[in-house]
Amino acid sequence: MKIGILGLQGCCVPHERKFAALGVDCCRVVFPEDLTGIDGLVMPGGESSTMLKAATPGLWSAVGDFAEARPIWGVCAGCILLARQVDNPSQQSLGLMSIDVRRNAYGSQNDSFIDDLELNLTAVVHIEAIFIRAPQIMQVDDDVKVLGSHGGHPVMVESRRHLATTFHPELHESMAVHEYFTGKVGRHSDG
Amino acid sequence: MTDEQRKLNIGLAQMLCGGVIMDVTTRDEACIAEDAGASSVMALERVPSDIRKQGGIARMSDPEMILAIKDAVSIPVMAKVRIGHFVEAQILQELGIDFIDESEVLSPADETHHIDKWQFKSPFVCGATNLGEALRRIGEGASMIRTKGEAGTGNIIEGVRHLRTILREMKLLAQLDEGDLFAEAKRFQAPLQVIQEVAKTAKLPVPNFSAGGVATPADAAMLMQLGAEAVFVGSGIFRSSDPQGFAGAIVQAVTHFRDPGKLVEVSRNLGTPMPSIGAGQLSAEEKFEHRGW
């Protein structure tokens, strides 16, 4: 199994460390051809508006094609890219999950926070969730399952193939979310 | 700053990796920077090259202008305070600025103390020319280090020297026995605990960005290839002949920093870079890099 990390901008290295600890190979994805031969893709935290500008032509349509068969996990900025609709301000997105997302919904860095979170993964797990200038998931359709909520808003959701978190599992101790995504990738993999 | 807040602050610095932080002086410039793909903007009244030309005391910018820029963009906004000027930092924290730059580009306010950054919730970025300086700032609570370079010159040589120096000093530290680290802490005038951490990993415990003298996409890509995790561009964007073009090209160069083909593409027909100052043209007193202790 090989997992790609979208390497346009943002927080890539901590994901690579987590997957390495799980024995999963990683590579960076910058060009459309980098998607060949990988089984899942992580779109990491960072600035979504930067990622939109830094992408080479053809990358997003290739990610869209990839998403037809393979899982994508969007973290924070990546969750914004996965969404159907984005506001505050409105922004282009890939529409790969039926969720509506508000950017910087909690405010500036002084409003970033860490809190305990209960997640319904294969079992119920409790983690320390790190929210950094986080977006909020404002609406989810019926084909999207909520795996964790905070303050009345979903913060971890999944569709049949894809996964989105508004917090940063790559920065906390727990391996649970990386294990969960690896499992999802395994189920969709040809091997 | 609690341990939790420190994790959040270093986390924000990690989110800015692989990006370009651009100096902007107006709302319009902030929008141009964001549209070009800047991962953050630095709000200030005068870019470093103008501070150099005009002379006098350079201070924190008017909160009104910082707020106007904060209002204009959705990306994180940084702003500068003078070295040691903890009250300017209190004001920026109150404004809800995302990152405070305790910067040598402004006139220092204290000749012995830097700000005690542990007293603040907001994250700080500080400049460094060598490892000792970087580790002293981290000991004081900085969540991000940037090499100083020589701001406002359009000359990359100082930035390259500072980055190479820090990276080399970390590699050497990692070779030493644990018993040697006590002496190294004295030599570097830095906290032992941070020295031990660097000796273990050969990396700073916070992201290591680069700044000062970046004028072209090639300059930015060079810092990235040397090992910078992101790049600050001061006068290089809005004192060039085509700010929009330079901003977009430098963003592309930082994403594709190892790709010569892409670097050719973004460097072609770009226009004239910012006016530059040669390394020998500045006296020691005129150099910003010597500010900080």
Residue B100 CA to residue B124 CA, distance in Å, equals 5
Using the Cβ of A27 and the Cβ atoms of chain B, whether some distance falls under 8 Å is answered with no
Residues of B in contact with A112 (CB under 8 A): 8, 11-12
Q: What are the domain boundaries of chain A?
A: 2-189
Using the Cβ of B1 and the Cβ atoms of chain A, whether some distance falls under 8 Å is answered with no
pLDDT at A191 exceeding the cut of 60: no
pLDDT tens track for B235-269: 999 999 999 999 999 999 999 999 999 999 999 99
For residues B255 and B246, the answer to whether their CB atoms sit within 8 Å is: no
pLDDT at B279 exceeding the cut of 60: yes
Chain B residue at shortest CA distance from A54 = B252
pLDDT at A139 exceeding the cut of 90: yes
User: Mean pLDDT across the stretch B98-112?
Assistant: 97
pLDDT of residue B55: 87
Angle between helices B157-175 and B181-188 (to 10 degrees): 160
Q: Helix H segments across chain B?
A: 3-15, 27-36, 48-54, 63-72, 86-95, 131-139, 157-175, 181-188, 192-201, 217-226, 235-238, 243-255, 260-267
pLDDT of residue B53: 87
Best residue of A5, A6, A53 to probe chain B, by most B CBs closer than 10 Å: A53
User: Mean pLDDT across the stretch A132-147?
Assistant: 98
pLDDT at A190 exceeding the cut of 80: no
pLDDT of residue B285: 84
User: Mean pLDDT across the stretch B96-111?
Assistant: 97
Q: How close B36 gets to chain A, by Cα (Å)?
A: 7
Chain B residue at shortest CA distance from A9 = B18
pLDDT tens track for A50-107: 999 999 999 999 999 999 999 999 999 999 999 999 999 999 999 999 999 999 999 9
Over chain B, what is the mean pLDDT?
96
Using the Cβ of A127 and the Cβ atoms of chain B, whether some distance falls under 8 Å is answered with no
- CB contact under 8 Å between A12 and B17, yes or no, is yes
**CATH homologous superfamily for the domain A2-189:** Class I glutamine amidotransferase (GATase) domain (3.40.50.880)
B80 is catalytic: yes
Percent of chain B with pLDDT over 90: 90
Strand pairing category for B144-147 and A124-131: unpaired
- CB contact under 8 Å between A46 and B18, yes or no, is yes
Instruction: Identify the residue with better confidence: B289 or A179.
Output: A179
pLDDT of residue B284: 85
Residue found under tokens 């969404």: A83
For residues A74 and A166, the answer to whether their CB atoms sit within 8 Å is: no
pLDDT tens track for A149-176: 999 999 999 999 999 999 999 999 999 9
What tokens appear for B212 in the block? 């000062």
User: Which residue among A88, A104, A132 places its CB closest to the CB of B11?
Assistant: A132
- Identify each DSSP E strand in A64-112 by its residue range: 72-75, 85-87, 99-102
User: Mean pLDDT across the stretch B74-101?
Assistant: 98
pLDDT tens track for B45-66: 888 888 988 988 999 999 999 9
User: Which residue among B4, B14, B39 places its CB closest to the CB of A47?
Assistant: B39
Least confident span in A97-101, B26-30, B151-155, B264-268: B151-155
Instruction: Identify the residue with better confidence: B249 or B283.
Output: B249
pLDDT of residue B187: 95
| Closest alpha carbon to B92 in B120, B127, B126 | B120
Percent of chain B with pLDDT over 70: 100
Q: How close B20 gets to chain A, by Cα (Å)?
A: 9
